Amino acid sequence: MNTAETFHELGFRLYGKYVHYQLEAAQLVAQTLERGQGILNNTGALCVDTGSFTGRSPKDKFIVIDETTSGTVDWGEVNRPISTGHFDVLYKKMRSYLAEREVWIRDVHACADARFELTIRIVNETPWANLFCHNLFLRPDAHNVLSPDTEWLILQAPGFFADPQTDGTREKNFTVVNFSRKIILIGGTAYTGEMKKGIFSVLNYVLPLQRNVLSMHCSANEGDDGKVALFFGLSGTGKTTLSADPKRSLIGDDEHGWSDDGVFNFEGGCYAKAVNLDPNKEPEIFGAIKPGALLENVVVNPNGCVDFSDISKTENTRVAYPIQFIKNAKDPSSGSQPRNIFFLTCDAFGILPPISKLDKGQAMYHFISGYTAKVAGTEMGISEPQSTFSACFGRVFLPLHPLKYAELLGKKLDADPEIKVWLVNTGWIGGAYGVGKRISLKYTRVLITAALTGKLDNAAFVKHPIFKIAVPQQCEGVPADILNPRALWRDVQQYDQKAAELAMLFEQHFDKYSAHASETIKKGAPVLLD
């Protein structure tokens, strides 16, 4: 079904001059190579460059303000409004642009739980962008069958540029979400993650607001005992790495919903960071780089091998692959109620312990905080650690007020008091970045396994004097001194001072939410010392 005439015969609107519908991965790879838009690496994966945009552009994402959204969306720096008039003009321009071009169309869906399924039609300007959609979204059981109807439409045209003077955008590139018409427009950027996160934003609006489902930016896996674990964390904290446990089944690596019946994946694939990818430390991800996988913005040597340490194009190198490329992926990608929740933070200040247990108030407080830290060298202008807070570990994807999601989390914890919530520091111990050292991934895995298997339940816990979190004093396989970061500092008074400073940063971030936050959340805050 590769001709526009086929669409006409079946009563479909014309999306492009030449239309390719629901092609298999191998066909999309072949077409990308034929058009000189990519190359194969030595394992047979397709390697492409996304051009001037190698990551999302949050400041260029807009939501149409109308009767549907005006009173529900949390408008501000994250959720920028655009008028229906500007949307209508952009939509018409994009349809005219694509109507004269070769396009690739795919019907997919989101949400592994059929009760919440969202059907999506995606129109791409390149075959490799369509391959990304094939890999990342849930694939229909019957391929190459034209769907009579889909709920949402995405138009993605990297070659189409907006006119900020007349189209209401900030720059020539844009992502515009229209909740009333159920359309997402993406133009001026070839970065594929805009499509994935566009649908994530849609689900973050629809599920909590209309279905009482907590939407989450987290990974999830399941043990042989059927017990589910969730891993929240911002970029660089180890969310994908730690959830890809060969001894546990992977439910998903990035986006999930939590209903009254359990956890389900939004996606059908993984979009893993590839920078410094090591087959010894991350064998599951490394093994997924094979025919059908899509590598973005990596450097390929003349012998076809990828240099994963080369960040000359971007530090945000990525690999997109179907979740079935992970040997222990669960099918269907859903599970029961979670038993353990891990909040991952890369604390470059060396203050937080490698693992600690949170009560309900602390869990809600740290959820609304979404803390990690950037270190020197990761971005231009950063010469020392800088704190980073992103509410619910994904603020830029939340159309609703962050407290809506935090309160939903609190209700989930109330419904099942047996759920354990842990704060895990995958960053520095014994001092800040440049003085201390980053905790070994081996120790982090041991601590998480101990939490999952209940071995930490009988450990003695001591409350941190400032953050009040419960810190275990022993864990088999981990030196006891590592569990208490204060003891590793040469100057404990300096540790106390820096811990107080970090607590103040937490509270400065929380200030914007405190007026409307519940007393339960407020009680989870650290103690501010003079």
Is 69 annotated to bind a ligand? Reply is no
The burial class, CB within 10 Å (0-12 / 13-18 / 19+), for 315 is: middle
The burial class, CB within 10 Å (0-12 / 13-18 / 19+), for 246 is: exposed
Is 170 annotated to bind a ligand? Reply is no
C-alpha span between 226 and 141 (Å, rounded): 26
Is 6 annotated to bind a ligand? Reply is no
C-alpha span between 40 and 26 (Å, rounded): 12
Is 235 annotated to bind a ligand? Reply is yes
Contacts of 68 (CB under 8 A, 6+ apart): 179, 180
Q: Do β-strands 338-345 and 228-233 pair in parallel, antiparallel, or remain unpaired?
A: parallel
Is 486 annotated to bind a ligand? Reply is no
Is 439 annotated to bind a ligand? Reply is yes
DSSP code per residue over 383-395: -S-EEEE-GGG-G
Is 463 annotated to bind a ligand? Reply is no
Contacts of 457 (CB under 8 A, 6+ apart): none
Is 444 annotated to bind a ligand? Reply is yes
C-alpha span between 520 and 109 (Å, rounded): 37
Is 449 annotated to bind a ligand? Reply is no
Is 241 annotated to bind a ligand? Reply is yes
Residue among 433, 509, 468 nearest 353 (CA): 468
In the 8-state DSSP scheme, what is residue 114? Answer: G
User: Nearest 5 degrees, angle CA 370-CA 373-CA 375?
Assistant: 160
Is 247 annotated to bind a ligand? Reply is no
Q: Do 478 and 449 meet the contact criterion of CB atoms below 8 Å apart? A: no
Is 54 annotated to bind a ligand? Reply is no
Residues marked active site are found at 56, 197, 217, 235, 239-240, 254, 318
| Packed helices 492-514 and 360-369: angle between N→C axes, nearest 10 degrees | 80
Strand partners, 269: 322
Q: In the numeric block, which tokens belong to residue 473?
A: 């004093």
Is 292 annotated to bind a ligand? Reply is no
C-alpha span between 390 and 367 (Å, rounded): 9
* Rg of the chain taking only CA atoms, in angstroms: 23
Is 388 annotated to bind a ligand? Reply is no
Is 56 annotated to bind a ligand? Reply is yes
Is 240 annotated to bind a ligand? Reply is yes
Is 516 annotated to bind a ligand? Reply is no
Contacts of 442 (CB under 8 A, 6+ apart): none
Is 107 annotated to bind a ligand? Reply is no
Is 214 annotated to bind a ligand? Reply is no
Binding residues for ATP: 197, 217, 233-241, 282, 318, 438-439, 444
Binding residues: 56, 191, 197, 217, 233-241, 254, 282, 318, 438-439, 444
Binding residues for Mn(2+): 197, 217, 254
Binding residues for substrate: 56, 191, 197, 318
